[in-house]
Amino acid sequence: MEKMVVAAGFGDILDKIKAGERLGFADGVRLYRSNEILALGYLANLVRERLNGDKAYFIYNQHVNYSNVCTNLCKFCAFGKEKGSPLAYEMSVAEVRAKIRERLAEPISEAHVVGGIHPDLPYQYYLDMLKGIKEERPEIHIQAFTCVEIAHLAELAGKSLADTLKDLVAAGLGSIPGGGAEVFSPRIREKTCEKKLSGQGWLEVAKTAHRLGLKSNATMLYGHIETIEERVEHLEALRAAQDESGGFLTFIPLAFHPKNTEMETIAKTSGLEDLKNIAVARCFLDNFPHVKAYWVMIGPKLAQVALSFGADDVDGTVKEERITSMAGGESGGVMADSELIRLIRDAGRTPVLRDTLFNELKVY
């Protein structure tokens, strides 16, 4: 098979990857520009199997999108609504607690809590929400608040990022999800989400969290107006941050879903584009332990195929996810763990139920 990779023009990158050498900016650009998806898959799979063998991870989690009220109103988002919009909602702490309580019978190990940048919910609300979740389900790991929300909370609290994070941890925060990274390029942020925390700001929150011992994830929203170079710059920034603070667990490429956004005229991402973003990231981010094929975004079929193209995680039995579904995601919000296990096994991988921090709960 290596002959085919060489024939596709990637002999040099193959050598680098086999030698454990880091890819450069130009390598990343070349990989993204290529349609030789099998060769890309082969390269990514080398890294994937070196780091994770045949394992494919999934988690039993519960999503809580506590509010869609948001002052940022990013153009690529179908979820955020202005306060007062008929589609706006916010959950009280009691409602969030009720959601957790509803599902106590299920073996959920993670509450995944993300919302908008709300103009007037007080700092205490967020602390109370974390505490409330922990009171309902003390053993649950709370992965909550993207770096963008955390920066907002620090402003609300009038505290430093580190002190804010310490408050949140004391209230129950376990780790930080990877959202809000979008594409770091200032050009992209100016055009699509000018009010959002900057790329530098996002990285600063992540690194601060890592220094406090928190783990976090990272994402990239692809398939809108970003250039290939901007994608590689984004990956480079993440790789450099990881060298510095080492707290990233998983990189999650997020496919842009245009429906109901201000960028609706852009076509949905193709299967080729989705696989390419997984494969190139896996080749490039040599210091990230995991790359996720988030099935809610790209569909279960492609997520399964992605297990041969660099991905080692498919997220989990997501329920009540609203961010992708409002943008026309067609995967529905629910998949039984038995179906995830079947898809993984059918792809020749070993299904591993994990917790948020990749402790293995059960190997199937």
Partner 1 sequence: MADLHKLAAIGDKVLAGERISADEALALAMDGDLLRLGFMADAIRRRRHPEPVVTYVIDRNINYTDICISACKFCAFFKSPEDPAGSVLSRAELGEKITETLALGGTQILLQGGLHPDLPLSFYEEMLSFIKGYGIHVHGFSPPEICHFAALSGLDLGEVLLRLQKAGLDSIPGGGAEILCDRVRRETAPRKCSTDEWLAVMAEAHHLGMRTTATMMFGHIESIPERIEHLARLRDLQDETGGFTAFIPWPFQPDNTVLAGLAKTTALQYLRMLALSRIFLDNFDNIQASWVTQGPKIAQLSLFFGANDFGSTMIEENVVAAAGVGFRLSEGEIRGLVEDAGFVPRQRRMNYSLV
Site residues (vs partner 1, CB under 8 A):
1, 3-4, 35, 37-38, 41-42, 45, 267, 270-275, 298-302, 304-305, 307-308, 342-343, 346-348
Smallest separation (angstroms) from partner 1 to the CB of 5: 9
Smallest separation (angstroms) from partner 1 to the CB of 221: 18
CA distances from 348 to 54, 289, 299 (A): 8, 20, 19
- Residue closer to partner 1 by CB (options 4, 361) is 4
Is residue 84 within 8 Å of residue 132, measured between CB atoms? no
- Residue closer to partner 1 by CB (options 193, 281) is 281
What are the tokens at 260?
A: 């109901």
Cα dihedral sign for 192, 268, 338, 38?
negative
- Residue closer to partner 1 by CB (options 136, 315) is 315
Smallest separation (angstroms) from partner 1 to the CB of 347: 5
Helix and strand totals (H; E) in the chain:
15, 11
- Residue closer to partner 1 by CB (options 200, 338) is 338
Smallest separation (angstroms) from partner 1 to the CB of 277: 13
* CB neighbours of residue 103 within 10 Å: 15
Smallest separation (angstroms) from partner 1 to the CB of 42: 6
What span, in angstroms and rounded, lies between the C-alpha atoms of 57 and 249? 13
CA distances from 28 to 31, 43, 155, 275, 325 (A): 5, 12, 36, 15, 31
What span, in angstroms and rounded, lies between the C-alpha atoms of 212 and 138? 22
- Residue closer to partner 1 by CB (options 165, 291) is 291
- Residue closer to partner 1 by CB (options 242, 269) is 269
Taking Cα atoms as reference points, which of 279, 275, 282, 323 lies closest to residue 302? 275
Edge-first strand order for the sheet with 55-59 is 313-316, 55-59, 350-354, 360-363
Smallest separation (angstroms) from partner 1 to the CB of 232: 20
Smallest separation (angstroms) from partner 1 to the CB of 332: 13
- Residue closer to partner 1 by CB (options 167, 273) is 273
Q: What one-letter code names the amino acid at 125?
A: Y
Rounded to the nearest angstrom, the gap between the alpha carbon of residue 131 and the centroid of all alpha carbons in its chain is 24
- DSSP code for 22: P
